[in-house]
Amino acid sequence: MKSEDELFKGLPASLTVDIQDNILLVGINRVEKRNAINDEIILGFEKIFSNIPGTLACAIIYGKGKHFSAGVDLAELKEQNDLLEGLKHSRMWHRILDQLQFGTIPVIAMLHGAVLGGGLELASAAHIRVAEQSAFYALPEGQRGIFVGGGGSVRVPKLIGLARMTDMMLTGRVYSAEEGMAVGLSQYLVESGSGLAKAIELAKIISSNAPATNYALMHVLPRITDSNQEQGLMMESLIATVSKNTPEAKERLKLFLEGKAKKVGL
């Protein structure tokens, strides 16, 4: 079995990887470009999230410097002169962000500064988004003569609704951190400088869950919400039956009934 250092060896300098206990921290480190995402970075994410060791239970993605990400590096897009090349590039993003959303561990995105275009597409693939007060959101593709290509048309409307995303692209509307929290772009809003600490706090809670529960929330719940009612209810019954019959679930229930489990809210 390869060590964690070996698994993450050979990553570009534009990505950093740190491990704290069983939490993986991935930093976008292209500060001079406001963390604009190029092919090197997105392929680096693929290397990371296709090699998650079983010792890790949660991941955090964040941006170095003042911004999460100002979006896709448009200089690279400009160099694409072939239609098929552009299609393959978009599908590459789809493949890699699916690895985040439907991977082996939950992912938290810690957002600050610019969360624009492809940066918002990346953030929308995470399971939880923690925003600092400095965060602001936009989809400037509409003003650039292009369309989102990294899964944003599927994921962002599920967070904020079709009408709001349409407005963002038609008008270039920018949401502040507070507005983003209100419409569903983040689930948590914290003071600037405290986002990573909050993300780590949440990651520790998530890491303490039963793995079967986390897996169900990552892989089954999204498919339930995408299905019709009859299919969704059947999937719910199946995963509820499977999860409650795992040895860990039985042990946790036993502790609860004996009064040894932590009370909710305490």
Locate the domains of the chain by residue range.
4-207, 211-257
Q: What is the pLDDT of residue 123?
A: 98
How far is the C-alpha of 210 from the C-alpha of 243, rounded, in Å? 9
Q: DSSP per residue over 176-207, as a string?
A: EHHHHHHHTS-SEEE-TT-HHHHHHHHHHHHH
Q: What is the pLDDT of residue 1?
A: 43
Pairing of strands 23-28, 58-63: parallel
What CATH number labels 4-207?
3.90.226.10
Q: What is the pLDDT of residue 124?
A: 98
Determine how many CB atoms are found less than 10 A away from the CB of residue 156. Answer: 24
**CA-based Rg of the chain, rounded to a whole angstrom?**
19
Q: In what order do the strands lie in the sheet with 175-176?
A: 114-116, 136-138, 175-176
Q: Which SS3 state, helix, strand or coil, does residue 97 take?
A: helix
pTM, to two decimals = 0.94
Pairing of strands 136-138, 175-176: antiparallel
Q: What is the pLDDT of residue 167?
A: 98
Instruction: Kindly list the catalytic residues.
Output: 121, 141
What CATH number labels 211-257?
1.10.12
Which residues of the chain fall short of a pLDDT of 50?
A: 1, 266
Q: What is the pLDDT of residue 252?
A: 83
Q: What is the pLDDT of residue 4?
A: 62
